[in-house]
Amino acid sequence: GMAARGHGTPPQWTVPVRPAVGARMVHLVPIRDQRQLSLSWDLPPLFTHFKSKAGSYVSHLLGHEAEGSVAALLKQRGLIESLSSGASTDQRYGASFDISLSLTEQGLQQKDEVLDLIFQYIRLVREAGALKWVWQESADLAAMHFRFQEKRDPSGYVVRLASNLQLYPPQY
């Protein structure tokens, strides 16, 4: 129809990503030997600010393994094996930001310290505000990943592009 050709506005709907229940901690006992700590925040849609790449900016800082980073500190203290983070499920009704940590045995025993360090670091990032060099480093890495990406399934790529046309102006 007209919306598919960029001549109208796609229909709007509100669907919660998760029920609004506030902060909670869920403990699961895995079937296999696994020590995973996952943090997730529900956010308003991020795609409306896609040029600033806020989710990528924060994810870049959290996952950075250089000296002085939270990932490096957690590894030095023997609390984690790896850390990954990023914005996900960014749609019209909202987004989420997730941090996933693979804990060591010691990290599992000291998960409260791991959580404290993560939240302290997030506070530091918020207080520092946007730093141009961090944004530029993140942009340079994204450009490098795009330039040297592996070949992918063309049909999946087309589906992703078509979906993105519903969220972003066609010139981007």
152-164, pLDDT tens digit by residue?
Answer: 888 988 888 888 8
Write the pLDDT tens digit of every residue in 48-89: 777 777 778 888 888 778 888 899 999 999 999 999 998 876
Q: Is the pLDDT of residue 16 over 90?
A: no
pLDDT of residue 7: 55
pLDDT of residue 3: 47
Please check whether residue 74 is in contact with residue 114, taking contact to mean a CB–CB distance below 8 angstroms.
Answer: yes
In a 10 Å sphere around its CB, with 0-12 CB exposed, 13-18 middle and 19+ buried, how is residue 127 labelled? exposed
The alpha carbon torsion through 129, 135, 138, 139 (nearest 10 deg) reads: 150
* N-to-C CA span, the chain: 21
Listed range (12-26, 70-84, 120-134) with the worst mean pLDDT: 12-26
What letters, b where the CB count within 10 A reaches 16 and e where it falls short, cover 13-45?
Answer: eeeeeeeeeeeeeeeeeeeeeebebebeeebee
